[in-house]
Structure 1
Amino acid sequence: DWDIRLLLTKRSSINMELARTSSDDDAPSTMNYSILLQERPIKQTVTREALTLLLDTFYNKAESFLSSEVKLSLDVERLVQSVKALCTSLAAVETPDITAALNQLPACPCRLQPKVQKDISVLSNRENRVAIVEKLTAAILDLVELYCSTFNANFHTMPHSSRSTAPIQEAGMITNVLSFSVYAAHRVPITWAASYENFFLSCSLTHGGVELCAPQHTSKQSVSKYLFHLVVWDQRVCFPVQINQLPRESQLTVTLYATSLPPPGGAEEKSKQKRSIEALGWVTMPLFNFRHVLTCGRKLLGLWPSTTASGNARSSTPNFSQPDSVILQVDFPTSSFEVHFSTPPPAEFSPQYEFSRLDQGCQKQLHDVLHKKSLFWLSPEDRRLLWEKRYFCHVEASRLPLVLASAPSWEWACLPDIYALLRQWGCMNHLDALGLLNATFPDQECRRTAVQWMDSISDPELLDFLPQLVQALKYECYLDSHLMRFLLRRAIGDVRIAHYLFWLLKDTLQDSQFSVRYQYLLGALLCCSGHGLREEFDRQGWLVTILAKVAQRVRDATPSSRQAILREGLDKVKEFFTLNTRCRLPLNPGMLVKGINIQSCSYFNSNAVPLKLSFQNQDPMGDNISVIFKA
C-alpha cells in the first residue's frame, strides 16, 4: 500500500497554463456560428470567382447564339457546352427546367436525345431563340440558388422572398397526407449502366427506428444520358400518413435499388442465372428541421453507399463529403405558410397510483414486464400492458425507458400525456438516464430531460460516461442539441473533460457518416478552449503522428530488424522533446513528460506489433511512465 500525502498550497502557485485567460475571452472567435447551426455539408465544389467566370462564358455564348445567322449549329453546340460546364461545377446536377430548355435546341454531339427539337428552321426566328435563352438563364439561376441552399458555398443568391414573414400553421392542424416528388438520381456512375437495370427507390418513414407505415416504391427505370448519366423517375410518392400524425423527429429514408445484370454469355446461361436486387445507396433526412419547420421546396440529397452502414445508427446528414456521391433530387410541396411543430404543454391530468392497488395477478404480470432487461424483449402484449398501467409504474423509477418505449405513438396529439409522465417521474440515476439517449428515443423533450438528470453528475464520474455520450450524439436528429451543449458546457468548466472529449472526437472523425457532425463539435470545443489548451492539443497531435509513423515502420519491417528501426524512429521522438520541453500524454492530461527513454523501449510480438514506450516523468519525484502505443 502507498500512503497518500496531501500538501496545502497557495492558489497562485497552481499551474494554470491550460485554463482560459482574459486574453482568450477578448480574442475574436474563429468558429463560424452561422455555419454551426446550418444543416449543410462543409464541402464546396465551386468558388464565387469560378462560377462568375462560367456564367460570363454562358452569357457570351448566349449572345452569339442570339445573333447567329450562318453558323447556327456551331453556336448551339457551344451554348450547350457552356451550360454543361456550369452544371458540372454545380455538383453535376441537371434540373428538369434545364432539360426542358435544352430540349428546344437541336441535337449536338454533346447531347443526343430523342426529345430534342428536330426542325432547326424554328430557330431562324430570333424571338424563339430569345425565349430559349430566357428559359435557360432562369433555370441556371434557379440551379445556382439550389446549390447555395445545399452546399456551404462562399457566396449566396438574393432571396426571392423573406420566409421569416410567412404565416405559420401548426403541424397538429394539417390533415393533408405527406407526399413529395422524386425527379432523378444525378451523378450516376457510368459503370452502373453496364452492371444494373430496373433502378427503383424505396421510401420509408421511421421514428426511433420504427416504421410509421409500409414503404412506398417508385417505378423501375434505366440509366439515361442527358448532359450526364442519370436515372429519371419524375414520380410522386404519397404516404398514407397525415402530417398531423407525424412525430416531430420523423425521418425519411430513401434507398436506391437495382437489379444486377448477368455477365456476358449465352441466352440459356442468362435464363438460368438468378437476378439479384442490390441496394446501391441510401439517405436519411428529418422531415422537420432544427427550427421544427416542415421541410419544403427542392432538395438535393447525397446518397451514402450501402456498404458504409454503421450498425443501427444512420446519419441524418446527406452524403456530400464524397465528391462522387450519387445525388437524389426531391421536391417537397411548397405553400404560402410554414408548417411548424410546436411543443405542446404537458397534460394537466397525470395521476400516480399505488402499485398495491392492482390485484395480485396484475401486480405479478406488471412486475415481470418491468424487470425485463431490455426494451427489445418487450412483446406487443407487454407494451400494451405497460402503457395501460403507466400510472402505477412510478415506484420503479429506473423502468422509465420501458414505459416510454411502449407509447403507442409520438405524434403531436399524444405528446401531452408523454410529457406529463416525464415531468412527474422521479429523477433517474445517471446510468439509467443514459438509456433515454439511445436511438429509440429521438424526441427532443425526452432527451432534454435525460440530459437534465445527468447534469448533477460530478466531473470525475462524467469521465466514465464520456465515451457513451459521444456515441449518443449519433442519435441526435439535429446538430444543435441539449446533449451537445451539455458536453461543451462541462468541457469549458474542467480541463480533464475537455482533454478526453477532444481525443474521443478525434477518434470519431474516422466514421465517414458522422464525421461532419463531429468536426463541427470538435471545432466548437477548440473555440471554447483557451490558447494554452489548443497549443497543448497541437503538441499531443504532433507526438501521436510521429509515434504512428514509427509504429507503422516497425510493423512493416522484418522481425530481425524491428528493434533497430524502432531505435531509429524514436530519435524523431527525441527531436520532438528537443523542440518541445514537455508534453502531456493523450492518455491522461496529468501525465506530463519531458523525454523518452529509448533504451527502455521495445515492442510486442503480437499481430499489431504495439510499441512499449517509456517516457521521462516531468515530476522529479515520479517514476517513468510506461505506455503501450498501437496504431
Structure 2
Amino acid sequence: MVHIPSPYAFDFWFQESTEPNVELSCLMPNGMFIPLPANRNAILLEIKEELWEEASKYPLHGILQDASSYIFSCVSTMGETEELRDENRRLCDIKPFCSVLKLIERRKRDVDGDERALNFQISSLIGKGLHEFEGLKNPEVNDFRWKMKLLGTEVARIRQNKTWLEKVAYQYPPRIASSDKIPPSCKARMRESSYFVDSTSITTYDYYIDSRFQNTETAFKFNVSCTTTPKELLHLIMNKKSITLNSRGEDPNDFLLKVCGQEEYLIGDYPLVRFLYIQECLSRDITPIVVVVSVNSVSVDQDYVYETLDDIDINRTRHSLLSLTLRKNKGKYQSSWTIDDLFSFKVCAISRLNTDVNRTVEVGIQAGLFHGGKPLCESQKTVEKLVSKEGSVEFEQELQFDIQVANIPRMARLCFAIYEMSKTAKGVKARKLKDSKQDLYMNPVAWVNTTVYDFKNQLKTGDMTLYMWTYAEDSQNEDMLQSLGTVVSNTNVDHATALTVSFKRYSSEYTIMYPTVEKMIEYAKDHFDPSTVTTRSDTEIRNYLDTVMQMAESDPLHDMHEQEMKELWAMRYESQMYAPSLLPKILDSVEWNSHKDVAEAISLLQKWPKLPVEKALELLDYAYADQQVRSFAVKCLQSVSDEALSLYLLQLVQALKHESYLSCDLVEFLLRRALSNRKIGHYLFWHLKSEMTVPCVSVRFGLILEAYCRGSQQHLDILSKQLDYLNKMKETSELIRQRKDRDKAKQWLHERLSEAHFCSDAF
C-alpha cells in the first residue's frame, strides 16, 4: 500500500520508512492534477515516463507536447523553486516539498530567432506549416517528431566527425558500379593485353583518358590500365606536369579528379573503370575527360550539429526502453494473447453526414477486420436508422466479431463504411440487399480505417472519433470496405463526417498489450505442434519446392489454393534451407487470424536467410502487413549500394503508404540513407514533396520531410532555389495557357526565360 502521510511533515523525507513507495502530486501543464505512486529511488526520467502513461488516461492529454518538451520543478528543501534539468537524479535525493512535482516547459535557448527562421523555411519547403503538426495534438505525431529529431542529430554528429574527403563523398556522391566486373560493352572498346607472372598469363584491359587542368589550356592523354585508381592517375598527371612544365612542389593529395562539365568527383579507392561516368564514355566509344581541380576550389558545406541537445535528452530514448521494461515487470500489462473474449466495440453515433435534407435517408454502418487486405472474419453491420436534419444518427449498438482478441494480429485494421439504403444503385460499389422483399441497394457514403492497436502496442480502449473520407468516383476498388485505404483520419476535421466508436476495455486492472518478439518466439517454442510439419521424404520435398519455385518465377501473381498453402506451410523448415526465396509464398500460407501460426511465422523469420533486393521489395507490398515481416525486408535492403538504392527509391516511397504507423524501420532506413548521401536525399525529398497535396499521406510525408530538412540543413538553400524555380515555371505555364496566339505565346516565353532574375535566382 502506498504511504500517504497526512499531513506531510516538514521532515518527511528525512524520516526512516520501510515503505518503498510514496505518492507524488504532479501538476501538469494542461491544468490536470495527477497522483502518481513512485518508488523513492526512482529517477526523474522513469517518473516522467510513468507520468506520461498515466496522463493518457486523463482529459486534455492531446494538448500536451512530447514529454521531452517539459522538465520537472519543485520547491526544494531550501524553500526555493528548483528546475530539475538533470533527469538522472533520484527522487530521494531531490526531496521535493510535500512530494509535489510540477511540469514546466523547457526554457528556450538563445537561438529562438534562428529556430523560427528554420521552421519557416521548412514549412515553405514542405508546403505545410509545422504548427499544423502541433495542432493535431496527436501523441503519435509528437513521439515521431522527437524520434526523428534525435535520428537527424545522431547522423549530423557522425557527419561532423568525418574526414574532408568523406564529406565530399556525402555532398557529391560518386556514381560507382555495384560489380567490379567490367561490362562487355566497355571491354569491346578497350585494348586487351597479356603479361606473365610466375608462368601464369594475366589478361588486362587498357583505355585512354584525357586530363585537363582547371582554368588552363594544359591537357594530357594517358593510356591507363583497368586497375588504375583516381589516386594513381593523379600521380601520373602531376608527374607529367612537373616534367613538361618544369613545375615542382605540387602534392597530388591537394587535388581531385572532377568529371568535365559536371559536379561529380572521382574519389575513393576504386579502379577508375568502376565509375559509371567512365563506363558510360567507354560504352559510347568516347574518351573520358577529367579535370584536375584544387581541393580548395571544392565547395564543401561546413558541417555542424544543428541542435545541441542535452546529453540527458539523448539518454532519454536509450533509457525509455529500459523504463518500459521496468513498467512491464511491475505487472501493469497483460498480453493480448491471454484474452479469449470475442472482439467487440460499440458504434455510438455519426455526425455531419452530407445527405439530402429534403428526403428521408436511412443509413447503416458496416465494419470489418482486415490484415494485409484479407478479412480476418465475417464483417458486421448495424441496424439502419434515419438521419436527422442536422446530419447525425445515434446508434449506440455493439458489434461483435467472430474472432478472439488473442487471434487479432498486431497490424490488423478495423474498416468502417457508412452506407445509404436506396431503391436505386449508385456507383459500382452499390450492393443489392439480400433477403429483402423489395429491391434495396446499399450505396456507400463514407469510409474510414483505424488500427486495433495503437503505436505503443496497446489495444485501443475507450471512446474515439474518426473523421471519414468520401468515396472517389473513379476508384477501381469495388469493395465497400476500403481495406487497402489509409488508416489516417480525414484531416479536414471541421467538415468531414465524424464517426464515434467506443472500444471495450477487457481488463479493469491491466493495459492489454501485444506480445513482444521475444515472447512470441518463446510461445512458438513452447507450443510447437509436430503434426504441422511434413512427413514426406527429402526427395519429394525438393521436387515439390522446385515445382513451386518454377511456378513462382513464371507467374509471380499466381494465387495458391488452400491445399497448396497447407502443403507449403508444412515444408516451411525445408523451404528455409533449400528455397529461401519462397518466403513470400510461405507468408501467404500463414493463418494470420491464429496467434499460434503467427508466433511460428515470427519465430521462423528470425532464422531466415536474407533475400535478394527484388524479393525483399515484394515483402513491402500491402499484402505483408506484419511489422516483423516488413522489418526483415528492410534488413535485407541494408547492404544495397547507394546507386542501386536510387533505382528502387520511388517504389520504397510508395511502400510507405502501406505502413500502419508513422514510426517504422522503413522510414528510419530511408532517412538514414538520405542523410548520409545528398543525392538520395534530393530524390527522397522530391518523391515525398510531389504527393504533399494528397490529403491521406500529407501528414506522414510532411513529417518525414521535416525530419530530413532538420537533419540536412545545408541542403535547404539549394532545395529552396529549386522550389522557387519550379513555382516560377508553374506560373509561366499558367500564363502561356491564357495566350491563344501560339506565336505570341512562344515569343513571350523566350522573353520570360531571358529575364536575368528568372534563372539566376535558381542557380
After TM superposition, the score normalised by the length of structure 1 is 0.63
CA drift at 1:437: 0.5
What is the DSSP-based 3-state SS (H/G/I as helix, E as strand, rest coil) of the residue aligned with 2:682?
Answer: helix
- Structure 2 distance, partners of 1:164, 1:194, is 59
Instruction: Return the match for 1:15 from 295, 299, 305.
Output: 299
Q: For 1:301-316, list aligned pairs within 5 A.
A: 301-307=466-472, 313-316=484-487
Tell which deviates more after alignment, 174-183 or 410-419.
410-419
Task: Check conservation: 1:199, 1:259, Cα contact below 8 A.
Answer: yes
2:142 maps to which residue? none
- Structure 2 distance, partners of 1:553, 1:163, is 63
Distance 1:490 1:11, change over 3 A: farther
Q: For 1:203-352, list aligned pairs within 5 A.
A: 203-225=367-389, 228-260=390-422, 276-307=441-472, 313-321=484-492, 323-334=494-505, 335-345=508-518, 346=521, 347=524
What is the DSSP-based 3-state SS (H/G/I as helix, E as strand, rest coil) of the residue aligned with 1:554?
Answer: helix
2:5 maps to which residue? none
- Structure 1 distance, partners of 2:672, 2:657, is 19
- Structure 2 distance, partners of 1:300, 1:310, is 28
Task: Check conservation: 1:375, 1:402, Cα contact below 8 A.
Answer: no
What is the DSSP-based 3-state SS (H/G/I as helix, E as strand, rest coil) of the residue aligned with 1:504?
Answer: helix
Task: Check conservation: 2:376, 2:593, Cα contact below 8 A.
Answer: no
Distance 1:196 1:474, change over 3 A: farther
2:80 maps to which residue? none
Distance 1:561 1:356, change over 3 A: farther
- Structure 1 distance, partners of 2:545, 2:621, is 29
Task: Check conservation: 1:202, 1:217, Cα contact below 8 A.
Answer: yes
2:363 maps to which residue? 199
CA drift at 1:376: 4.9
Alignment of 1:435 with 2:621, yes or no, is no
Task: Check conservation: 1:553, 1:565, Cα contact below 8 A.
Answer: no
Alignment of 1:548 with 2:730, yes or no, is yes
- Structure 2 distance, partners of 1:310, 1:340, is 37
CA drift at 1:562: 2.3
Distance 1:480 1:564, change over 3 A: same
1:418 maps to amino acid: A
What is the DSSP-based 3-state SS (H/G/I as helix, E as strand, rest coil) of the residue aligned with 1:509?
Answer: coil
Task: Check conservation: 1:171, 1:341, Cα contact below 8 A.
Answer: yes
Distance 1:197 1:279, change over 3 A: same
Distance 1:211 1:235, change over 3 A: same
1:168 maps to which residue? 333
What is the DSSP-based 3-state SS (H/G/I as helix, E as strand, rest coil) of the residue aligned with 2:358?
Answer: helix
Task: Check conservation: 1:174, 1:244, Cα contact below 8 A.
Answer: yes
- Structure 2 distance, partners of 1:321, 1:277, is 26
Task: Check conservation: 1:248, 1:411, Cα contact below 8 A.
Answer: no
Greater C-alpha radius of gyration: 2
Distance 1:24 1:374, change over 3 A: same
What is the DSSP-based 3-state SS (H/G/I as helix, E as strand, rest coil) of the residue aligned with 2:288?
Answer: coil
Per-residue CA deviation, residues 160-205 of structure 1 (Å, 9 max, x unaligned), is: xx9999821110101111111111111123x433366220000000
Distance 1:305 1:359, change over 3 A: closer
1:495 maps to which residue? 678
Per-residue CA deviation, residues 602-627 of structure 1 (Å, 9 max, x unaligned), is: xxxxxxxxxxxxxxxxxxxxxxxxxx
Task: Check conservation: 1:344, 1:412, Cα contact below 8 A.
Answer: no
- Structure 1 distance, partners of 2:286, 2:360, is 69
CA drift at 1:337: 1.9
CA drift at 1:360: 8.0
Distance 1:195 1:209, change over 3 A: farther
Alignment of 1:557 with 2:719, yes or no, is no
- Structure 2 distance, partners of 1:400, 1:361, is 17
Task: Check conservation: 1:281, 1:306, Cα contact below 8 A.
Answer: yes
After TM superposition, the score normalised by the length of structure 2 is 0.53
- Structure 1 distance, partners of 2:413, 2:674, is 31
- Structure 2 distance, partners of 1:240, 1:216, is 9
Gaps of 5+ in 1: 29-33, 35-161, 264-272, 584-631
CA drift at 1:442: 1.1
Over the matched positions of the two proteins, sequence identity in percent amounts to: 25
- Structure 2 distance, partners of 1:542, 1:355, is 67
What is the DSSP-based 3-state SS (H/G/I as helix, E as strand, rest coil) of the residue aligned with 1:377?
Answer: coil
Per-residue CA deviation, residues 378-428 of structure 1 (Å, 9 max, x unaligned), is: 222322222122222232232211111111225433233212322222211
What is the DSSP-based 3-state SS (H/G/I as helix, E as strand, rest coil) of the residue aligned with 1:358?
Answer: helix
Task: Check conservation: 2:549, 2:582, Cα contact below 8 A.
Answer: no
What is the DSSP-based 3-state SS (H/G/I as helix, E as strand, rest coil) of the residue aligned with 1:214?
Answer: coil
CA drift at 1:567: 2.7
- Structure 1 distance, partners of 2:424, 2:485, is 31
Task: Check conservation: 2:424, 2:441, Cα contact below 8 A.
Answer: no
- Structure 1 distance, partners of 2:328, 2:351, is 28
Per-residue CA deviation, residues 482-527 of structure 1 (Å, 9 max, x unaligned), is: 0001111111101001100000001121322222211111111111
Task: Check conservation: 2:345, 2:503, Cα contact below 8 A.
Answer: yes
CA drift at 1:370: 4.4
CA drift at 1:332: 0.9
What is the DSSP-based 3-state SS (H/G/I as helix, E as strand, rest coil) of the residue aligned with 1:184?
Answer: strand
What is the DSSP-based 3-state SS (H/G/I as helix, E as strand, rest coil) of the residue aligned with 1:508?
Answer: coil
What is the DSSP-based 3-state SS (H/G/I as helix, E as strand, rest coil) of the residue aligned with 2:662?
Answer: coil
RMSD: 3.3
- Structure 2 distance, partners of 1:353, 1:15, is 66
What is the DSSP-based 3-state SS (H/G/I as helix, E as strand, rest coil) of the residue aligned with 1:323?
Answer: coil
Task: Check conservation: 2:352, 2:497, Cα contact below 8 A.
Answer: yes
1:138 maps to which residue? none
Alignment of 1:425 with 2:611, yes or no, is no
Distance 1:185 1:570, change over 3 A: same
What is the DSSP-based 3-state SS (H/G/I as helix, E as strand, rest coil) of the residue aligned with 2:640?
Answer: coil
1:536 maps to which residue? 718
Alignment of 1:178 with 2:343, yes or no, is yes
Gaps of 5+ in 2: 1-284, 311-315, 317-326, 426-437, 478-482
Per-residue CA deviation, residues 74-96 of structure 1 (Å, 9 max, x unaligned), is: xxxxxxxxxxxxxxxxxxxxxxx
Task: Check conservation: 1:184, 1:329, Cα contact below 8 A.
Answer: yes
Distance 1:406 1:354, change over 3 A: same
Distance 1:452 1:364, change over 3 A: closer
